[in-house]
Structure formats: structure tokens, C-alpha cells
Amino acid sequence: MESASAEGGVGFCFPRGDEHRIPLPEFLERFGTDENGLVEQEAARRLRDCGPNVLEEVGKESITRKYFRQFWNFFSILLTIGALLSFFAEYLDPGKGNLYIGIALGVVVVLNGTFTFIQEYQAEKTMESFRQLIPPHARVFRDGKIRDILASELVVGDLILLEEGDKAPADGRLIEVNSLKVDNSALTGEAEPQLRSLHCTHPDMLECRNMVFSGTLVQSGNGKAIVFGTGSHTQIGNLATLTEQTSAVDTPIRKELNHFIKVISSIAIFLGVTFFLLAFFLQDIFLASLIFSIGIIVANVPEGLLPTVTLALSLASRRMADRNALIKQLESVETLGSTTVICTDKTGTLTQNKMAVHSLLIGSEDVDFKGPEGPAEDPAGQESGAEPGEKTASGGEGISGEGLPGTGWDPEKIPPVFIRVAGLCNNARLSERAPGYTGDPTEGALLVFANGFADLKELNDNYPRLEEFPFDSLTKRMEVICRTPEGGFEAYLKGAPEIVVEMCNFSIEAGEVRELGRKEKEELLDRHLRIAERGERVIALAYREAEKREEYTEGFVFLGFIGIVDPPRPEVKEAIAKCHAAGIKVVMITGDHPVTAESIARTVGLSDSETLEIITGDELKALSREELAERLKKKSIVFARTSPVQKLKIVQLFQAEGEIVTMTGDGVNDAPAIKNADMGVAMGSGTDVAREAADMVLLDDNFATIVNAVEEGRTVFDNIKKFIAYILTSNIPEILPFIVFVLFALPLPMNVQLILAIDLGTDILPALALGVEGGEGDIMRRLPRSREEKLLTSQMLLTSYGIKGPIEAAAGFFCYFAVLFDGGWSFGEELANSNPLYMQSITAFFSAVIICQVANVFTSRTRLQSVFTKGLFKNRYVLVGIVSELLILSFIIWSPLAHLIFNTSPIDLKYLLLALPFALFLLAVDELRKYALRKNVGWASRLFSW
């Protein structure tokens, strides 16, 4: 290896294009490796010389482009137009303050775009950091041992292991295959998975079957390959087919925001143009009409909307990450909140994924062995253990063995071939880490069980595997051919009881092989159901002598059943109850027998009555769409004996009924269902392809984490609505002064500068505080929102524009007129902008609006619940926001600098107190509205439920 490396320098870093054609010995010599892989020292040197196994990102939007994109929206365009109009007004009539308005609007556009960019950039970095928590890994042989390393650390010459669900981490040439099928569609566009071989089958490398390529997916089987291309020197690196090049599709929340922006912008343009024309024709003053239209546009634009929404989503994603849910796309947070159906796997999601052998039934003899702790409660809460000498649930004799330390099983009662099948017809591997194995949990439990009776290394040496026919969700079995010490062949079989029993012609009884008839088969299947009723997954084992290295479908000797227990997660029952209270249907999907599935479903609280609907995979194939649609209406549903490929059909069936579906999965065959679901959820321990297809990854594989994420999604949507309702309210007291100015020729009660002081000063922090408000107490007791529910609704507009807004405007006008009348003003009298009385009157109007907005932000903390159910100090950001409002108000009232900018003047404290009754009235009216909604008063729901 050293000589090859020295001779070739770094030349082996670059493939030559003939790696699929040259003989294997020449291939190994070229890359300075052998069939045992590299040693660590050589791998480290190659990593240093050739660089990491990573692809350069292409087609990614530059930071500059991303920044300037923030200014391409209706709000920014409208404010830019307002700034240009202000500069034009300053040109026509200099020295009237329009220059400062134009500058202020320009600064607003820049600050708003910059703040939104910063929020999105930080959110993007947060998402990237989340993805780094689950980086791609690869399994390699180094120093003669299997090691799990980061895929980026792979080097040319490494020997990699590939199994079902893996994504190939680099380009490699296969040196061992077991029914290995690979999906090359990412490179070739060919959707059908291709069977791999060890021979060169085509002159074109991409078509040659002795190759695997970086980024392609292992659909079934397993194999070993020698890496010859990494990073940009792979086929996918050459083609630069990276996910960043694909165009993004707008999420529901993004569509809603775009809709909201268009509606509000249309209102602003309509009002601006309409009242510009009215002002011009009624008063024939072009300049005043122009300034008026600027004020109308500015008053309607909620400048802080986009950064607040981004902040709310970003904070929610961080909270979810703290609770083991990683969101891959920020706006997917909200999609969770509208979920109506959660389709979940059983194993590892509803259960603890700590599988262990719990029951044995050997041969056709009715003997039920029990584990080391004597009587034990089965998963359904029924005591299923038996003391020695007592009868078990199946009628046999329960035995707790003393012969093997630490196992509790009597080895004399278990045939050696039984142990061989459990340990050799198996692709799991023993591990020093909990739970003691790596690989499929069911196989892991069998491996740990077998390891208690035999040295697995010795067993593998004495009975080497020659062929493997992998487990398939359609055949529901796995078969291997092994060579015996005598030189013959044996076929070992494990799988679903109904499949394995049907393939058996004999059974082992008391150490002898006897013929197995139809009656005996039916009795065996009946006994397996008794184990399944306790919530145990039942696996059947069998073997036969083999004449050839081929797959067999009959002539097997039935050895027995193994019952495996996977205890339910303790928090799942409460989480499912939470879903039911929230109007969310929870559907369990499992490959287990219907009897086992039913037992587990009742244990975890999926059904507390007799209404549980169980649909098998065969029924899913046979029933018509109309029949299935009727059965899907049931409250509690379990799909049993289903294959992963049927998950896609389940998703589509629910979606056809108008449901919003969240689907969980971990395997390669789960990916289509995960991708097609409204919200795809992958297990952190799942395959690369499942995680890639998902919108969210569960680091703890826990169903309760999904429910927590749904709650966060609902809270985010609620908070965005609260924020919008809050900022829309102040639009009315901002717009009405200009309308009164035009129609009644009153002194303008509030100028453009003060409008900006509200929209970009006093309202910003309170609005942001609403974006981080915790969920209301009933948020998981409400029905899911419908697909048709919008962010901006007529009910919300009626509440903000028809109730709370007019109260604030009334407070403003009351204080405005109080100042004017106390100063001796009378109707029809004109006041110059520099008149102290006028300056005091607009200060009073502005102050009244701010005081009412303090009450508004307080009552906006809830949509349905009384705001007094929220602790005053629970959201401290609201208090910070209120303090900021009062500080800005004080600055504008009493600061000489503010007087120059806003044309304001100090006022007596009594005028501020005049606004307090209006603020309290606003709070009381909104509390009354919420009370009516909680009591389901019909008119209130129709008018004010937003």
C-alpha cells in the first residue's frame, strides 16, 4: 500500500474513467488498497492530500442578491414611491419638512429590508446548524474493523459497506453484492432500481452494474465497494446536480403573507389615489393633496410585518430543536399547526425501540418459555408470565431456565439450529453501546438472544453465509444460504408466521423432525395469535438442507416462534389524548399482525372503546376507493400487515378526503409517502433518503415530539394573526385624520412623521413581543384550522377596523379637540403648522393613540382566552414593548429635538389621562368579544372569530 501511494503521488485522487472495465486486481493496485480496506494512518494521509469528500455548492443565491431581494415586495415599493413623492413635494415647496419625510421613508425601506434580511440570514444559518447535527455518515473497514465515520472523511481506497436505505457516500466499485439494488435516478433519470453485479456489463460507466455512485440510493440488499472517486471527482460532482439548483415552492404561510401584502397594498393604493383626487378637486391644492396621499399610503403599510414573521418562525424552530425536532425549512413550522391526520409508525415512534425476546414456542409443542424475571406484565398490561410448573396463556408449561447465566432461558430446551437461524439469518451487528446492537431492532433483539447461547463469531466462521435473499415488505421473509462444517448447505428462514408456516412441510418436536399437515399448520397459527394478543411481535424460524445456492420456497422444517416485546413509550398515551382533544386523528401503520397491532393500539390509548378500525394491507389492495373512504372516517384507525410502499396510498387517500396529513417514516420505501405528505417527518435514526425527503427530523424518534411540534405550529399561526390584528388597529387612527382634513377642512390631526413614529417606533417592539407569545391554554383543544382559513380575514378586519381602530381614533379626536377648545379654537379657524396650539393638539392625538395601543397589545396576547388568564409577567417582552412605547411617547412630548422632527409640543398631563377611559373601554370590548366566542354565541362567531 505504501509503495502504491508513493509511486502514484496524489494521482489516485482523480478517476481515469476506466475503473469499471479493468480487472479487479489492477483496480486495487491502482488505488493502493485491498479487499480489507485501508489503515487509519494511510486514510488520514489521503484525506490531507486529496481533500474532504464534499461537493462545492452551485446555483446558490449570493448574499448580495439575497439582500436586495428583500426590497422587491409591495410594501417596499409603496414606501419607495412615498419617499420619491416626498422629495418631489420638497422640490415644489422647499422648507416644509417634506425632505425629512422622504429621508425617513427611505431609511424605513432600508432598515426594514436590512432587518428582514438579517432575520432570514440568521434563520438560514440556524437551519444549516440543525442539519449539521445529523451529517451524512458512512460505514467503512479500517484497520480490519467496521467503523462509522463522517461521509466527508471518506478517501479513495476505502472499503465501504452499503445496506438498504443508505445513500452511497462516494463513487465505488463493488467487490461483494447480496441482491443489491440501487436507484440511479439522480444521475440517469431511470426510476427503476437496478440490480448490481460484480462484472462489467456495459462500456459506459453509468450503465455498468459493478459501480455505485455518490448520491444514489440503496433500495434493497447489501454490498461492499472500494471508493475510487470522492467530492467533485464523482459522477454527481461532474454533473453538479445539487439540490440548491431546484426551484423553491412557496409554503402555505408564504402564500398567505403574499396574499396579505397584496390586499393591504391594494387598499393603500386605492385610498391614496382616491383621496388625492378628492383633496385636489375639493380644495384645489395639489401639494397638500400629494402630502395627503403619502400619509394614506404610509398609514396602511405595516412595515414591521416581514421581519416579525421571520423572527416568530425562527424562534419557534429553535424551541422545537431544543425539544428534538429539527425543521429543515423555516416556514414548515406553521404547516404542522394545520395537521388533521398524523400517520405514524409503531416501532420506535409509539414504542421505545428497545426490542427484546420475551416468549419462545419451540416446534409444534405447546411450550412457552419465559425470560429471566419470571412473571412479567405484557405490553397490554396483562400478566403473561408463568412460574415454573404453571400453565401459560397458551396452555403450555412456563419455564424460567437456570442453565445460562443472565438469560433466564434453559439452553437444553432450545435446539442449536434454532440459535443458528436467529443469529445467522440476520444483518444486525453486536455493539458495545446500548441497546447492544446496530441495525434493525427486530434483528437486533434476535442477535442479542442468540449471542446468549453461542459465540457469534465462531458461529459465522463455522457457517459462513454464501447467499442472501433479503427481507422484502412484499414477501415478508428473509432467507440465507450457509455452508455447514461438513461442507453441505443449509437454508435459514425467518419472517411473518403465516408466510413461514406455509413454506414448511415439517416441524421439529422433541428433537425429532415430523411431518407438518394442514391441521397442524392451523394450530400453529392459532398459537401464534395467542402470543400476538399480548402485544408481542411474532417471528417464525425455519430451516432446510439446501442442494444449491438458490432461494427456496418450500420443504422447510418449522423450528418455532419468537415473541419480541417493544414497550410503549410512557409519554405516548398522553400525547395521543392531546391529539384527540385537538381534533387530530392519529393513525398507526405497522407491518405487525392485526392482533399485535390492536393490542398495542389499545395500550397506547389509540382507542379506548370498541370503535378501533383495523385495515390490513390486503384489504388496502382489494377495497374500492369509496369503501376505503368510508372506513377512513372512523375515529381510530390501524393499518396492519402493510408494506412501506402502501404508505403513499394511505397519504393520498386521506388527502383526497381533504385532510392535511403528517406522515412519519424511516426507511427508503417511506420516502415517497414522506415527500407527498403535507408534512413529512423522518426519524433521526432512519435512512438518509427518508431524512432527505422529510420536512422535519425527530432526533429522539418520539411521537410526543411530533405533538409538541404541532402545538408550536399552531402557536406560530396564532401569533402572526395577533401581530397583524395589533398593527392593523392603528391604521384607522392614522387614516381618519387625513380623511377629516380633506372632508371638513380641519387642521390635520396627525402628520406623516407621527405615523412613522407609530409604525416604526412605538409599534415595533410590542409587535415583536406578540410574535413570541406562548400558546393559549386551549390551543390544543381547538379543531385544526381549515385549508381555507386565511391570515387576513373579514372578521379580523372588522375587529381591527370596525371596533378597536375606531375606539383609538375616538380617543385621539377627543384629546385633539380638548386641546383645541381649551386653547380658544373654533370650527373653521385655520392653524399654521408652527402654531403652538396646533402642535399641542397633534401631540395630544398621537398620545391618545399610543395609550390605547398599550391596551391593544395587552388584549392582543390572546385570540379566544381572556387575557387575564395569561400571567402579566409570563411574556416579559410585552412589558419591554410597553415600556418602549411610553419612552418614545415621552421623548416626542418633551424632547426639544423631537419637537423639531415631529412638529410636536409639550402638553398637560390631564390630556393624557383623558385617553385612559378609551383604553379601558377597548380592553373591555375585546374581552366581551372573546367571551362571546368562548360561549359559541352565533353572531359573535360569524362576525369576530378570526
Write the DSSP symbol of residue 746: -
Q: From CA 684, how far away is CA 661, in angstroms rounded?
A: 20
Residue 231 belongs to what H/E stretch?
A: none
Q: From CA 187, how far away is CA 901, in angstroms rounded?
A: 63
- Nearest CA-CA partner of 793 in 660, 942, 582: 942
Residue type, 692: E
Contacts of 268 (CB under 8 A, 6+ apart): 78, 296, 297, 299, 300, 301
- Nearest CA-CA partner of 927 in 854, 868, 851: 868
Catalytic residue among 345, 378, 666, 701: 345
Give the rounded distance of the alpha carbon of 778 from its chain centre: 23
Q: From CA 649, how far away is CA 669, in angstroms rounded?
A: 12
Query: What torsion, rounded to 10 degrees, do the Cα atoms 321, 327, 331, 337 define?
Result: -80
Hey, what's the cell of 394?
397458551
Q: From CA 264, how far away is CA 271, in angstroms rounded?
A: 11
Q: From CA 346, how far away is CA 19, in angstroms rounded?
A: 44
Q: From CA 244, how far away is CA 250, in angstroms rounded?
A: 15
C-beta atoms surrounding 255 within 10 Å: 14
- Nearest CA-CA partner of 589 in 654, 523, 504: 654
Q: From CA 672, how far away is CA 247, in angstroms rounded?
A: 19
Per-position DSSP letters for 353-410, written without gaps between them: S--EEEEEEETTS--EEE-TTSS-B-TTS-B----TTSB-TTSSB-B---SSTTT---
Hey, what's the cell of 907?
402638553
Q: From CA 748, how far away is CA 96, in angstroms rounded?
A: 14
Helix ranges (H only) for 440-545 are: 441-451, 456-462, 497-502, 518-532
Compute the Cα dihedral for 813, 819, 825, 831 and give only its sign: negative
Helix ranges (H only) for 680-702 are: 688-693
Per-position DSSP letters for 814-829, written without gaps between them: HHHHHHHHHTT--TT-
332 and 130 in contact (C-beta within 8 Å)? no
**How many degrees, rounded to 5, is the angle at CA 505 between CA 502 and CA 510?**
115
490 and 544 in contact (C-beta within 8 Å)? yes
Task: Please indicate whether residue 345 is annotated as part of the active site.
Answer: yes
Hey, what's the cell of 253?
404561510
- Nearest CA-CA partner of 903 in 682, 755, 693: 755
Compute the Cα dihedral for 691, 695, 701, 703 and give only its sign: negative
Q: From CA 498, how far away is CA 210, in angstroms rounded?
A: 37
Backbone angles phi, psi at 234, to 5 degrees: -105, 170
427 and 440 in contact (C-beta within 8 Å)? yes
Backbone angles phi, psi at 381, to 5 degrees: 90, 5
Assess whether the previous peptide bond of 135 is cis (omega < 30° from 0): no
Catalytic residues, by residue number, are: 345
